[in-house]
Amino acid sequence: GFTHALTSIRRVNRTDVITLGSSFGSLSRIMDASMEELARCPGIGERKVKRLHDTFHEPFKRVTPRPNLVVPDTPDREKASGQPSSTNDGTPEKPGTSKNKKGPDVKSALTAAFAKYSEKIRSQGHEAAHEGGEGPSSSTMEGDKTKQLD
């Protein structure tokens, strides 16, 4: 895998991979290496160094923020907007727009979702206390319903 991953980069051949492998010992070390460190390897010129460096650093910059931000965002948002109708008047539009624009919007949407989520937990705590008091009365109502059915 490691040889294939590196030889798929333009201008990098098997010899370069062996050189890099013996200099650094592992793919993760090569990936962490600075351009200067890569350039010290025999036969690895400036262009190869730049290609290697770009290949390792660019895709990760692009890929990592998305799963972390977007995935947890959606279920929380739906739960949050599904429950308290009074606090979210115009929010049904927001989940859609925040999914399209990836970036600071997602972060602020996440923050908002978490803020709502913690409010929800707080209010649920109060509701749970009330529900405890209402428990017996609601069960007697169910009892009345069954009597009416008979």
Q: What is the C-alpha separation between 33 and 29, in angstroms, rounded? A: 6
Q: Which residue has the higher pLDDT, 63 or 2?
A: 2
Classify each residue of 101-138 as buried b or exposed e, where b means 16 or more C-beta atoms within 10 Å of its C-beta: eeeeebeebbebbeebeeebeeeeeeeeeeeeeeeeee
pTM > 0.85: yes or no: no
Say if residue 36's pLDDT is above 60: yes
pLDDT of residue 128: 52
Q: pLDDT band at residue 41, thresholds of 50, 70 and 90? A: very high
The class (CATH top level) of 2-63 is mainly alpha
Domain span(s) for CATH 1.10.150.20 in the chain: 2-63
Tokens 């409010």 correspond to 119
pLDDT of residue 65: 44
pLDDT of residue 53: 86
**Angstrom distances, CA of residue 132 to CA of 37, 137, 145:** 66, 10, 21
Q: pLDDT band at residue 4, thresholds of 50, 70 and 90? A: confident
pLDDT of residue 49: 92
Q: What is the pLDDT of residues 125-134, one digit of tens each?
A: 655 555 555 4
